[in-house]
Structure 1
Amino acid sequence: MMLRFSSSIFLLLLAIVNVGFAAKIKDGLLPNGNFELGPKKSELKGTEVIGRHAIPEWEITGFVEYIESGHKQGDMLLVVPEGYYAIRLGNEASIKQRLNVTKGMYYSITFSAARTCAQEEQLNVSVTPDFGVLPMQTMYSSDGWDIYAWAFQAEFELVDLVIHNTGQEEDPACGPLIDSVAIRILYPPKMTSQNLMKNGDFEEGPYFLPNTSSGVLIPPNIEDDHSPLPGWMVESLKAVKYIDSDHFFVPQGKRAIEIVAGKESALAQTVRTIPGKTYTLTFSVGDAGNACAGSMIVEAFASRSTVKIPYESKGTGGYKRAVLKFTAEAARTRIVFFSTFYHTKTDGSLCGPVIDDVKLLSVRNPLRL
């Protein structure tokens, strides 16, 4: 006997069946990642958001504010980097979004953040069981907004991304502003016969927000297991900046690294080597074409060897090739880069030399400079 269903019942059953088949997250902004869809007027008390699910696609806890571009807090004008709205996290406040991901894959989260009136702000970013604490004491840009990246490996198909302000200020409205939360799948590169460095050209890395031109900060104390810059570690107190050829001068390909905080920005990678064997490390040193001018020096270390590469920057773009030859003393050798000097642009923002196209070969292999 054939059963007949009304169209409304059929659609209801279809919706129930498809609950577990939500589309996987794609590269780009998360759903309502720029917070342009806001709470209803009935869910706002001034700028404070009332209700855990008042912001579409997000769940909030604690004192969260919905900030419109141009909002004034005393004498301070709050600027939104993209669109018209951002959110502010007060004491112990957080935002959460559930993501449908592929178990075992690596992902990078990119988001904009700005410090307001607190001085010791830091953000806890987590996807269970991974978490990272991103310090915000140093502002790298001149407009107060910096773009950060953080990475994780998915251990489940459904995960919760949480951005949490751990601060305890007398004024809960002194928390950080958050905007433009995006995601990108990372494909960890491998060493090859042409290059023993992983991701030596920096082409694999976090998502670039399309409407911004300040680059992406790879935070300090990032280990290589879950680095938004696969293969590399940031072993320093300050971040390094990931830049793209759409907004900066890049020596090779589409991506490079700007060392923006002198010796406090150290980029490192540990590579497999054979003790007693001689290797040649080559790399490019230049400037990003972003008006960062002056006498620059990039220092590179490998085993017991070091080299200092001077570069006179006019701030208009350019590069030179550099070489470091060393003999390995162990089965693993740590390669480190940093800038000897600190540099700032005329607007006060931090900047520095660019490194790119890092290659490591044993001396028996042909070398092209």
Structure 2
Amino acid sequence: MVISRVALLLLVCAAARPASAGDGLLQNGNFECAPDVSQMNGTRVTSPYAIPSWESTGCVEYIQSGTTQDNGMVLAVPEGAHAVRLGVDSSVRQQLTVTAGAYYSVTFSAARTCAQSEKLSLSVIPCSPDHAPSALPIQTVYSTSGWDSYSWAFLATQDGAVTLVIHHADDGVDDPACGPILDAVAIKTLTVPNPPCQEGGSNMLRNGGFEEGPYMIPGSAACGVLVPPMDEDDVSPLPGWMIMSYSKAVKYIGSDHFAVPSGTRAVELVAGVEAALVQEVDTVPGSACRMEFSVGDAGNGCAACETESAPGLGMRVTAAAAEGSTSVAHCSKGDGGSGWERGVLEFKAVEKRTRVVLFSAGYHTRSDGSGTLCGPVVDDVSLVCAASSAPPPAQRRRLLRR
């Protein structure tokens, strides 16, 4: 019986070939299949192939929930009982099978353990020559659990096997073992429909309802998924939208655990004026345009309401496009039952490309005293112009990256 159980475990944890990039956890993506004790020195992994389905380099630790550091800090494991910790200049990697021309979003959970400036760098090998690894800041914690789920996206440039690399390169600490905890690595193939014809009153924005976005891991969905800042040429895990910020993120949320205005997905603006949702569209200069969007709260204890004695403390979302802007206030009780406000911005296009911007005009924290950042929810964003032209097919890739 013991032999049979061991054999079964080996079959489950084995990685005989690259995993097909479907929707869900990667092979041993939650690191619950453990290394053999002969390939470990305490918590330190001593062989590059010790962790089933993964290859590791540098100082990588395999940790268990409840592990305590020398300084007394208990390490938080986001999913299940096990995770890995990436020391300075350390990485884990796994091969995937992808389709050329397809867009993929990677979701993972991470927790900071040492330096305030810890970052994780994600890349795919091989990749397009102009696509450098993306460094995702994880110093700000947006949940009460001590860890967050993050997302990142890439464009597959070839059919077949590629290697996903997650790397920690923070060299600003003295302890080579110091670094973030990594867990629950999943992937999703992104599908983004073309916007409808821009004439005749159709929405010119892609993914205006935010229904397409990164994979939500069931055990982490109650915390949402962070979409971190990105360069304008990066592929977005929230198709159609860029996140403009220096180091802050927005939170992608689902209706299973949060209040959303419509459909099953929305975005919570958790970083105040430090992070903005941005999308660019082709417009005809001089055309009359109307932008609409919904504003509410996520029902997560983020209570904020303006009063005569405390003006400016309520939730407020600012929208800007071309030379116009508007600000929409929402009085939130934090329970998602305060309804939704519909914002409207009318403006005239002045350029052939118009940038639409949405951001929270204030900073908010949950009313439970935890200090957890939160903010207004935006959804159902639309843009209609009286005269415009649909983008030619050659611009499809550029718009999707935006």
Output the TM-score relative to the length of structure 2: 0.84
Whole-angstrom CA distance in 2 between matches of 1:174 and 1:21: 32
Structure-2 separation of matches of 1:181 and 1:303: 39
Q: Aligned with 1:263: secondary structure?
A: helix
What corresponds to 2:359 in structure 1?
Answer: 338
Aligned pairs, number: 347
Q: Does 1:161 align with 2:164?
A: yes
The residue matched to 1:148 in structure 2 has which SS?
strand
Name the structure 1 match of 2:379: 356
Q: Work out whether 1:276 is the aligned partner of 2:286.
A: yes
Q: What secondary structure does 1:269 align onto?
A: strand
Are 1:324 and 2:345 matched, yes or no?
yes
Q: 1:224: how far off? A: 6.2
Does the CA-based 8 Å contact 1:190-1:199 persist in structure 2? no
- After TM superposition, which residue ranges in structure 1, 4 or more long, deviate above 6 angstroms? 19-23
User: Which of 322, 328, 333 matches 1:303?
Assistant: 322
Residues in 2 aligned to 1:23 and 1:221: alpha-carbon distance in whole angstroms: 27
Unpaired runs of at least 5, structure 1? 1-18
C-alpha separation in 1, matches of 2:387 and 2:300: 39
Partner residue, 1:246: 256
Q: How is 1:153-302 mapped onto 2 (pairs within 5 angstroms)?
A: 153-156=155-158, 157-168=160-171, 169-193=173-197, 194-212=202-220, 213-223=222-232, 225-237=234-246, 238-294=248-304, 295-302=314-321
Q: 1:25 Cα deviation (Å)?
A: 2.1
Query: Counterparts of 1:102 and 1:120 in 2: how far apart (Å)?
Result: 35
- Distance in structure 1 (CA, Å) of the matches to 2:19 and 2:318: 46
Which runs of structure 2 are paired with 1:105-120 in the superposition (5 Å)?
A: 105-120=102-117
Query: In the alignment, is the contact (CA less than 8 A) between 1:224 and 1:231 conserved in 2?
Result: no
Q: How many Å apart are 1:21 and its aligned residue?
A: 8.8
Q: 1:179–1:21: structure 2 CA closer, same or farther, 3 Å change rule?
A: closer
Distance 1:57 1:303 in 2: 49
State the shift of 1:26 in Å: 1.3
Asked if 1 retains the 8 angstrom alpha-carbon contact of 2:18 and 2:96, the reply is: no
1:171: Cα distance to partner? 1.3
Would the aligned equivalents of 2:328 and 2:341 in 1 still touch at CA under 8 Å? Answer: no
Q: Which residue in 1 is equivalent to 2:46?
A: 50
Conserved 8 A contact 1:189-1:230:
no
The CA deviation at 1:191 is 1.4
Distance 2:194 2:326 in 1: 26
Q: Is the 8 A contact 2:196 2:203 kept in 1?
A: yes
CA drift at 1:93: 0.4
If each structure's strand is expressed as a fraction of its own residues, which one has the higher value?
1
